[in-house]
Structure 1
Amino acid sequence: YTILRYGSLYGPRADMRNAIHRFVHEALTTGSITYYGTPTALREYVHVDDASSATLHVLGPEFANQNIIISGNQPMRVADLFRMIGEMLGKELEIKYQNDPNSGHYQVTPYAFMPRMGRKLVPPLTVDLGQGILRVMEEEHRQIHPELQSQGGYLVSTDD
């Protein structure tokens, strides 16, 4: 056996249950983001491409009978993530922190004491968090505005 746990996954084809997808969608459609934790919460976002490569790597015999954590290599506070999204969109976002203690959000680490030791695998080559978020923004923008298509680097309306 090999037991896998993942950091905060994000990437293409996600739905509203995915945090990064929901944050980008809210920022694009409302100019605000609602977060049920605190601004200082720390996450290690991992792109699905990196997670899938790492998952295939873990199939090797050297990982047999182990607990493996697959995470990103760029720990980030959610407040900084929201600032990054706002900068990418070129606008000031309204951030609504709910600080809900029952939300299930951890503050700094998802780890809890367990008698069995796990190993952490961070893929050596990764999708940069900023580039990954830009890809999510592009995909979400296409879903929100299907009437626009990219032609020569510009968005043009197909409604003629």
Structure 2
Amino acid sequence: MYDFRPAPGTSKPELHRQLVDAADALTADERDPVANMANVAALMGEFLDRVNWAGFYRAVGGELVLGPFVGRPACIRIPFGTGVCGAAARDRATQLVPDVHAFPGHIACDGATRSELVVPVVREGETIAVIDLDSPDLARFDEDDAAGIERLAELLSTRI
């Protein structure tokens, strides 16, 4: 049985270190990318507070297609360059958005979402997926979150 959870009061950098370590342990010996994304989405749901959606969009033929996630039902397809996820995929750059309503072209899959962090998963210079985190709180995510999820994306670049 797996029981990966941070202790209450864990600092944000330590929480992200533990999240990456747990993801490493769960994905190290598994070759199926969907299984790995599903377990990591569940981990993010356990580790990250004040998050109403955590998961993946996979890059398929120039668009993002919904992958494993925890949260409410979501948009299924997002063209590269559209919305926060599409911008991250196209630019291969982290999108840290304190107020999604101020982001040009934001796609509102869940009206409760107010801030978002999207990190591309890049392999051999190409976006293969994005990790998407949504929160009902304004400015929920910061540079510590971005750095932690970027480390997670780097780990997963060879496992999904």
Is the TM value for this pair above 0.5?
no
Rg comparison, structure with higher value: 1
More relative contact order in 1 or in 2 (CA 8 Å, sep 6+)? 1
TM-score by length of 1: 0.28
